[in-house]
Structure 1
Amino acid sequence: MNFVGSKMKEFNSPADDASIDLNAARPGFMVIIAGAVLAITGIITFVGGVQLLVVLNIVTWAFVVPYFMLILGVAASIVGGVLTRARLWAALVGVILAIMLALVTVGWCIYAILHGFLSPLCFIAAGASILSTLVVPVSLPSAISSTRARRALYS
């Protein structure tokens, strides 16, 4: 068939095909690493919160810390998984979660040491949260470029 004289509408792309880089829509290496670090930090923090609930009977104001650790751990695990797909909202929420995780886990680690509760999981959670606080913000430029490329492809 010859479609030269047909009455079919031509497909007009909003952005020409030469300006769209298909590889830019794929998640970059740094985004995948940042998402994995955040997800692993969330899992470690969740397990640390479970440990605190099972092992300790906290009667001071610090009784809320395990519950914060549980909530932040679950949230960080979910957002970290989504961040590996280079979603911009996950990168932004991940930065906030990483900072909150660092504050809670490092603060709890200091409080626990001062009150005689030593746990290797406390040190691991604090170290992982500091690492995620350093790594997740670095993923923002790659998440932004992937989001822009996806928007160009889908519009």
Structure 2
Amino acid sequence: MAFRTQINWGVFGIFGFLILGFIIAGILVPSGAETDDGHPLNIFFFFMAGMFFLSTFGVILWATLSNRRRQRIESSWYDAEAQILEVGETGTYINNQPRIRFRLQVNSPVHPPCEVVHKQVIPLTALAQYQPGRTITVKVNPEDPEDILIT
């Protein structure tokens, strides 16, 4: 199971050039130049460089934290079998992928069998795999048997 969030470093190279370009533009702009609404143009360029830097840093931070969470789930949660009892749409779409509500009977090796209602984003191309009556593999939190992740 591969959970890793991939980072396209070429995009960050482009952002680096944009940041450098805005800084150079902020230095080279004539001292009296203003934007259309009367603000100093050099401040605008420095602000834009800062925004690109912060957004780049934010994406890298998000990917790092996301990978840590996924590695923690992969290493400490255990596999269990779950039978799908019911499948339904929640009406929510994230990146054009539906968030699906599952009612599952989870049979874990550590906890007694329990019924769990779980919501997770599932790719449209994989929806046919999740039909009532099928058995699927899930990751179960050892501290809370109702906290699961469909793999």
Q: TM-score range by the shorter chain?
A: 0.3 to 0.5
User: Greater CA radius of gyration, 1 or 2?
Assistant: 2
> Which has a greater percent of helix?
1
Structure 2 length normalisation: TM-score?
0.36
> Which has a greater percent of strand?
2
Where relative contact order (Cα < 8 A, 6+ residues apart) is larger, the structure is 1
Structure 1 length normalisation: TM-score?
0.35
